[in-house]
Amino acid sequence: MDQKTIRNVSILQSTNLLTSFALQVRSVEVKEALRLQKENNFVILDVRPEAEFKEAHPPGAINVQIYRLIKEWTAWDITRRLAFAFFGIFSGTEENPEFMKRVEEKIDKDAKIIVACSSGGTMKPTQNLPEGQQSRSLIAAYLLVLNGYSNVYHLQGGLYTWFKEELPAEAEE
């Protein structure tokens, strides 16, 4: 999967692919996600940056970050760093080109997966967002479906809601 695919996910919102995607990925609320993980062996795939994952995550969750800190030092990457810094963002990120490779190393294609990020986004239309609110977990879910994963769920409300509901969490040192 090349970086253009990840970038072009935003195009998804303006095409009929959104309807097809919505039929393949279901949203699940946090308490239901916990039940599915405990009773039905669902895997929680946390796509947040590694540092956020280490601070707190659902027990047993697997972390594969969909975005990573900008790593290279080419002229283009230095320019991107400066652009981020101009807006007060000193830890600019880029698509993780190894996202699918890492997922495939850790999770079988027939696994039941709940994809989670901080905010969760939504596929539900609103007046201001007729195609829903995009998020890292929805982008990751889309990539999983494109790469042959068929049991993909999306954590509605994200891990923010998980922690707010005081569901089990663990941290790593």
- Domains held by the chain: number: 1
- Taking the C-alpha atoms of residue 93 and residue 81, their distance in angstroms, rounded to an integer, is 9
pLDDT value of position 14: 46
pLDDT value of position 64: 97
Nearest to 134 by CA among 120, 152, 144: 120
Task: State which residues of the chain have pLDDT below 70.
Answer: 1-23, 84, 89-92, 123, 125, 129-133
CATH number at residue 42: 3.40.250.10
- Report helix, strand or coil for 62: strand
> Is 90 domain-assigned?
no
Give Cα separations from 168 to 58, 61, 107 (angstroms).
6, 11, 22
Domain that holds residue 31: 3-68+96-164
> Is 121 domain-assigned?
yes
Contact 143, 13 (CB under 8 A): no
pLDDT value of position 76: 74
Which pTM does this prediction carry? 0.79
Phi, psi of 98 (to 5 degrees): -100, 15
Which of the following is catalytic: 117, 139, 140, 144? 117
pLDDT value of position 23: 59
> Is 80 domain-assigned?
no
Count CA atoms closer than 13 A to 137's CA, side-chain side.
30
- Report helix, strand or coil for 119: coil
- Report helix, strand or coil for 115: strand
Q: Which run of H or of E encompasses 146? A: helix 136-146
84-122 pLDDT, tens digit each: 677 776 666 778 889 999 999 999 999 999 999 998 877
**117 assigned to active site:** yes
pLDDT value of position 4: 55
Q: Over the range 6-34, which residues count as b (16 or more CB within 10 Å of their CB) and which as e?
A: beebeebbeeeebeebbeebebbebeebb
pLDDT value of position 72: 73
Q: Which run of H or of E encompasses 158? A: helix 158-164
> Is 16 domain-assigned?
yes
pLDDT value of position 75: 83
